[in-house]
Amino acid sequence: MNVRSVARDALASGPVCDSCLGRLVADRSFGLSNPERGRSLRISLALADDEPFDPPADCWVCEGECARFDWWARQAEAALRGYEFDTYQVGTRVPPLLAENDRLLREEVGLDPEAGELLKREFNREVGKRLGEATETTVDFERPDVVALCDLTTDTVEAQINSAFVYGRYRKLKRDIPQTEWPCRDCNGTGLVQGQPCDGCDGTGYRYDESVEGFTAPVVCDTMDGADATFHGAGREDVDARMLGTGRPFVVEVDEPRRRSIDTDALQTAVNESADGAVEVERLRLATHEMVERVKTLPASKRYRMTVRFDGPVEADALAAALDTLEGATVEQDTPQRVSHRRAAKTRTRTVYEADGDPDGADPTCATVEIHGEGGLYVKELVSSDEGRTTPSLAGELGVGATVTALDVLTVEGEDEPFADPAFFRA
């Protein structure tokens, strides 16, 4: 490429500003800005031709937009005012006419349509550089806290505020509390049936008054001054089960937060005070968006403790032998009847890692059973057989009916090492 020939042809096409001229050779002489390249080319031609140096007053390519980088940066800063952020990105909507002008200029000088730097990219870079300096923040091309979208057609800047994330673990210490809010089926969550308060939910719209989500997400959302919040759990326990021990991993995603630098210790205290003993959270930390996917796809095993009632007396030796058979077994489970209304019919194969139990010394029809199983194992059905839909099962091995009357999740195991990865957390 002969840069003087390119510049001469570009200037012959009409008035072209220094930015648009320099952008044609943006891949030359690193360390120069496009306006510096353009001005240098213009001066070089004036000297070579012994012509007066005549900077252009107008530009047919960008129609003066390249002279407004400072103005656009101020508009972007104003659009993001009131939001706390450490990282940003700038995007630009270039009108079709200007994009076509940018293409035609390259065609006029015989360059590839992608040669040098396109107007859109220069806009993003120049406005972004000024915005970063003004706000003392860092550009992030992967997942910034905020995006300022400059629309050259409307002379407006649209602020896109990306979500913030808080990771932690919860313990559910009371039974009959779902993990997430559970809309009433009778009224579809509206609280009304034919204009009257729904009898199924007393007009609340929810089947249960309390939930783990209800105790956590609103407090996190309020602390970060967000528009809304979503609760993501690493699986879920049954409504009538407690979640004890080390707790279950979760992430609260906050939409459009105005605050990001929060005291997670104080937040943890606030959540626990709000839950008043029904739910406890711990290890709260600011996380990245990757943590949501990590939590939702966690291949963790679970350890359960169950109170089991049998339809007749069961000897200690028979219980031990049945549990020995289950330990290490590969179990086939058809979708349980109790969840068939919301789960597709499917046969799942899961492994029982450990099985142990103790009979109730005072009542031979009752026992305490502990199961450590692969994630997705339906442990209630492992005990009851669900009318033969789970094989093998404790009831099947004993030859007597068995029902879980109380269930506790003791641990959600296998996540400690990957969740320690600093890539999932914000500094």
Q: Is residue 425 part of a domain?
A: no
* Same domain (yes/no): 156, 10: yes
Mean pLDDT of 235-246: 92
- Looking at 298, 314, 347, the residue that finishes a domain is 298
Give the mean model confidence (pLDDT) for residues 217-229.
97
Model confidence over 63-116: pLDDT tens digits? 999 999 999 999 999 999 999 999 999 999 999 999 999 999 999 999 998 899
- Where on the phi/psi map is residue 245: left (φ > 0), alpha (ψ -120 to 50), or beta? left
* 34 & 96 share domain: yes
Rounded CA separation 268/220 (Å) = 9
Please say which residue of 283, 298, 313 terminates a domain.
298
Kindly list the catalytic residues.
238
What's the mean pLDDT when you consider all of the chain?
A: 92
Question: Which of 139-148, 200-209, 262-271, 278-287 shows the lowest mean pLDDT across its residues?
Answer: 200-209
Q: Is residue 375 part of a domain?
A: yes
- For strands 402-413 and 241-255, give the pairing: parallel
Q: In the predicted model, is pLDDT for residue 325 greater than 50?
A: yes
> Residue 144: is its pLDDT beyond 60?
yes
Residue 214: its pLDDT value, please? Answer: 94
Q: Is 193 helix (H, G, I), strand (E, B) or coil?
A: strand
Q: Same structural domain for residues 283 and 157?
A: no
**Chain segment 266-290, per-residue pLDDT in tens:** 999 999 999 999 999 999 999 999 9
pTM for the whole thing?
0.86
Indicate if 145 and 27 belong to the same structural domain: yes
Whether the per-residue pLDDT at 419 is higher than 60: the answer is no
d(Cα 239, Cα 150) in Å, to the nearest integer?
48
Q: Which domain holds residue 50?
A: 3-161
Domain count, the chain: 3
Q: What is the mean pLDDT of residues 348-366?
A: 94
- CA 307 to chain centroid, in Å, comes to 37
For residue 390, being part of any structural domain is answered with: yes
* Cβ-proximal residues to 324 (8 Å cutoff; 6+ apart), any chain: 355
Q: Say how far apart CA 201 and CA 191 lie, in whole Å.
A: 7
Confidence of residue 49 (pLDDT cuts 50, 70, 90): confident
Q: Do 17 and 92 belong together in one domain? A: yes
- Please choose, from the candidates 26, 97, 110, 27, the residue with its C-alpha nearest in 3D space to the C-alpha of residue 64: 97
Q: Measured between alpha carbons, how far is 378 from 283 in angstroms, rounded to an integer?
A: 28
d(CA 42, CA 20): 12
| Domain boundary residue, one of 278, 298, 318 | 298
Residue 417 — pLDDT band, cuts 50, 70, 90? Answer: very low
Taking alpha carbons only, the member of 296, 293, 288, 294 closest to residue 165 is 288
Selection from 76, 410, 379, 22 nearest residue 243 by Cα: 410
Rounded CA separation 389/345 (Å): 11
Q: How would residue 361 be classed by pLDDT, with cut points 50, 70 and 90?
A: confident
Helices first, then strands: H and E counts in the chain:
13, 16
φ/ψ (deg, to 5) at 137: -125, 175
- Can you tell me the mean pLDDT for 360-374? 94
Residues 253 and 213 in one domain: yes
The residue to which tokens 């129609």 are assigned: 63
Has residue 90 been placed in a domain?
A: yes
- Is residue 376 in a domain? yes
pLDDT at 414 over 80: no
Which residues are registered as beta bridge partners of 160? 147
Pair (351, 311) in one structural domain: yes
- Domain assignment present for residue 359? The answer is yes
Residues 106 and 23 in one domain: yes
Supply the CATH number for residue 203's domain.
3.30.70.2510
Measured from the Cβ of residue 272, the count of other Cβ atoms closer than 10 Å reads 19
Give yes or no: residues 10 and 146 share one domain: yes
Q: What percent of the chain has pLDDT over 90?
A: 77
CA distances from 251 to 81, 161, 213, 241, 361 (A): 27, 18, 10, 20, 42
Query: Could you tell me if 173 and 71 lie in one domain?
Result: no
Q: How confident is the model at residue 420 (pLDDT cuts 50, 70, 90)?
A: low
**Domain containing 93 — which CATH number?**
3.30.2300.10
